[in-house]
Structure 1
Amino acid sequence: MNRFAALLDRLAYEPRRNGKLRLITDYFRHVPDPERGWALAALTGALSFRNAKAGLIRQLISERTDPVLFALSYDYVGDLSETVALMWPAPHGRNDPEPPSLSAVVHAFSTLGKAELPAVLAALLDRLDETGRWALLKLITGSLRIGVSARLAKTAVAALGELEPDAIELVWPGLEPPYTELFAWAEGRGPRPETEDPAPFRPVMLSHAIEESDFAALDPAAFRGEWKWDGIRVQAVRGADHTGRHVARLYSRTGEDISPAFPDLAEALAFDGAVDGELLILRDGRVQSFNVLQQRLNRKTVTPKLIAEFPAHIRAYDLLFEAGEDMRNLPFEARRARLEALIAVHLESPLDLSPLVAFGSWEDLAAARADPASHGAGADAEAVEGVMLKRADSLYLPGRPKGPWWKWKRDPHTVDAVLMYAQRGHGKRSSYYSDYTFGVWTEEGELVPVGKAYFGFTDEELLEIDRFVRRHTVNRFGPVREVTHTATEGLVLEVAFEGLARSTRHRSGLAMRFPRIARLRWDKPPGEADRLETLERMLGDDSAASEAARPSDAAAVSRRAARRAR
Structure 2
Amino acid sequence: MLRFARLLDRLLYAPQRNSKLKLMADYFRTAPDPDRGIALAALAGALDVKSAKPSTIRALVTERVDPELFGWSYDFVGDLAETVALIWPEKPANRAAPSLGEIPSELAGLSAAAASEVIESWLDTLDPTGRWAMLKLVTGGMRVGVSARLAKTALAEAFGREVDEIEEIWHGLAPPYGELFDWLEGRTDRPDMSARAVFRPLMLANPLEKEDLARLDLSAYAAEWKWDGIRVQIAARCNEVRLYSRTGDDISAAFPDIVDFVSFEGVLDGELLVLREGEVAPFNDLQQRLNRKRVTAKMLREHPAHIRLYDILFERDEDLRGLSFTERRTRLETFWEREKPVRTDLSEIVPFEDIAALEALREACREAQLEGLMLKRRDSVYQPGRPKGPWFKWKRDALTLDTVVMYAQRGHGKRSSFYSDFTFGAWRDGEEGPELVPVGKAYSGFTDEELKRLDKWVRDNTIQRYGPVREVTPGLVVEVAFDSVHRSSRHKSGVAMRFPRFHRIRWDKPAEEADRLESLEQLIH
- Give me the TM-score of the superposition, normalised by structure 2: 0.94
In 1, Cα distance between the equivalents of 2:240 and 2:178?
Answer: 27
Residues 501 and 511 in structure 1, CA contact (< 8 A), matched pair in contact too:
yes
Q: Which deviates further from its counterpart, 5-14 or 256-265?
A: 256-265
Q: 1:483 aligns with which of 472, 478, 499?
A: 472
Kindly indicate whether residue 472 of structure 2 is the aligned counterpart of residue 472 of structure 1. Answer: no
CA distance 1:165–1:102, change in 2 (3 Å): same
In 1, Cα distance between the equivalents of 2:386 and 2:230?
Answer: 18
Query: Which residues of 2 match residues 312-461 of structure 1 at below 5 A?
Result: 312-347=305-340, 349-372=342-365, 382-443=368-429, 444-461=433-450
Q: Residue in 2 aligned with 1:46?
A: 46
Opposite residue 15 of structure 1, the aligned amino acid is: P
Q: Name the SS of the counterpart of 1:200 in structure 2.
A: coil
Q: Residue in 2 aligned with 1:143?
A: 141
Opposite residue 279 of structure 2, the aligned amino acid is: R
Give the C-alpha shift of residue 523 in structure 1: 2.8
Opposite residue 62 of structure 1, the aligned amino acid is: T
Q: Residue in 2 aligned with 1:69?
A: 69
Give the C-alpha shift of residue 36 in structure 1: 1.0
Q: Residue in 1 aligned with 2:121?
A: 123
Q: 1:167 aligns with which of 141, 165, 168?
A: 165
Q: Which deviates further from its counterpart, 424-433 or 13-22?
A: 424-433
Q: Residue in 2 aligned with 1:548?
A: none
Give the C-alpha shift of residue 347 in structure 1: 4.2
Q: 1:512 aligns with which of 468, 479, 497?
A: 497
Q: CA RMSD in A?
A: 2.1
In 2, Cα distance between the equivalents of 1:6 and 1:238?
Answer: 42
Q: Name the SS of the counterpart of 1:518 in structure 2.
A: strand
Residues 232 and 279 in structure 1, CA contact (< 8 A), matched pair in contact too:
yes
Kindly indicate whether residue 278 of structure 2 is the aligned counterpart of residue 285 of structure 1. Answer: yes
The superposition leaves residues 376-431 of structure 1 with CA deviations (integer Å, 9 ceiling, x where unpaired) of xxxxx633111122222222222333333222211122111111222222221122
CA distance 1:127–1:348, change in 2 (3 Å): closer
Residues 318 and 336 in structure 1, CA contact (< 8 A), matched pair in contact too:
yes
Opposite residue 435 of structure 1, the aligned amino acid is: D
Give the C-alpha shift of residue 303 in structure 1: 4.3
In 2, Cα distance between the equivalents of 1:304 and 1:469?
Answer: 45
In 1, Cα distance between the equivalents of 2:294 and 2:179?
Answer: 37
Unaligned runs of 5+ in 1: 241-245, 374-380, 541-566
Aligned length: 522
Give the C-alpha shift of residue 299 in structure 1: 4.1
CA distance 1:527–1:267, change in 2 (3 Å): same
CA distance 1:214–1:122, change in 2 (3 Å): farther
Q: Give % identity.
A: 58
Q: Residue in 1 aligned with 2:517?
A: 532
Residues 52 and 116 in structure 2, CA contact (< 8 A), matched pair in contact too:
no
CA distance 1:12–1:323, change in 2 (3 Å): same
Q: 1:206 aligns with which of 204, 207, 210?
A: 204
Query: Which residues of 2 match residues 95-114 of structure 1 at below 5 A?
Result: 98-114=96-112
In 2, Cα distance between the equivalents of 1:472 and 1:156?
Answer: 43
Kindly indicate whether residue 256 of structure 2 is the aligned counterpart of residue 263 of structure 1. Answer: yes
Q: Residue in 1 aligned with 2:480?
A: 495
Give the C-alpha shift of residue 304 in structure 1: 4.4
Q: Residue in 1 aligned with 2:31?
A: 31
Give the C-alpha shift of residue 522 in structure 1: 2.0
Kindly indicate whether residue 465 of structure 2 is the aligned counterpart of residue 462 of structure 1. Answer: no
In 2, Cα distance between the equivalents of 1:39 and 1:77?
Answer: 25
Give the C-alpha shift of residue 270 in structure 1: 3.2
Opposite residue 467 of structure 1, the aligned amino acid is: K
In 2, Cα distance between the equivalents of 1:284 and 1:442?
Answer: 35
Q: Residue in 2 aligned with 1:191?
A: 189
Opposite residue 532 of structure 1, the aligned amino acid is: L
CA distance 1:478–1:247, change in 2 (3 Å): closer
In 2, Cα distance between the equivalents of 1:458 and 1:410?
Answer: 24
Residues 233 and 267 in structure 2, CA contact (< 8 A), matched pair in contact too:
yes
In 1, Cα distance between the equivalents of 2:507 and 2:76?
Answer: 28
Opposite residue 82 of structure 1, the aligned amino acid is: E
In 2, Cα distance between the equivalents of 1:355 and 1:228?
Answer: 10
Opposite residue 73 of structure 2, the aligned amino acid is: S
Give the C-alpha shift of residue 216 in structure 1: 5.7
Give the C-alpha shift of residue 99 in structure 1: 2.2
Opposite residue 189 of structure 1, the aligned amino acid is: R
- Give me the TM-score of the superposition, normalised by structure 1: 0.87
In 2, Cα distance between the equivalents of 1:301 and 1:136?
Answer: 31
In 2, Cα distance between the equivalents of 1:507 and 1:349?
Answer: 38
Q: Residue in 1 aligned with 2:156?
A: 158
Q: Name the SS of the counterpart of 1:482 in structure 2.
A: strand
CA distance 1:11–1:118, change in 2 (3 Å): same
Q: Name the SS of the counterpart of 1:357 in structure 2.
A: coil
CA distance 1:532–1:431, change in 2 (3 Å): same
Opposite residue 226 of structure 2, the aligned amino acid is: K
Q: Name the SS of the counterpart of 1:234 in structure 2.
A: strand
Q: Residue in 2 aligned with 1:272?
A: 265
In 2, Cα distance between the equivalents of 1:196 and 1:425?
Answer: 42
The superposition leaves residues 520-548 of structure 1 with CA deviations (integer Å, 9 ceiling, x where unpaired) of 112322111111111121125xxxxxxxx
Q: Which deviates further from its counterpart, 13-22 or 266-275?
A: 266-275
Residues 14 and 20 in structure 1, CA contact (< 8 A), matched pair in contact too:
yes
Kindly indicate whether residue 280 of structure 2 is the aligned counterpart of residue 294 of structure 1. Answer: no
Give the C-alpha shift of residue 137 in structure 1: 0.5
Residues 410 and 419 in structure 2, CA contact (< 8 A), matched pair in contact too:
yes
In 1, Cα distance between the equivalents of 2:135 and 2:331?
Answer: 49
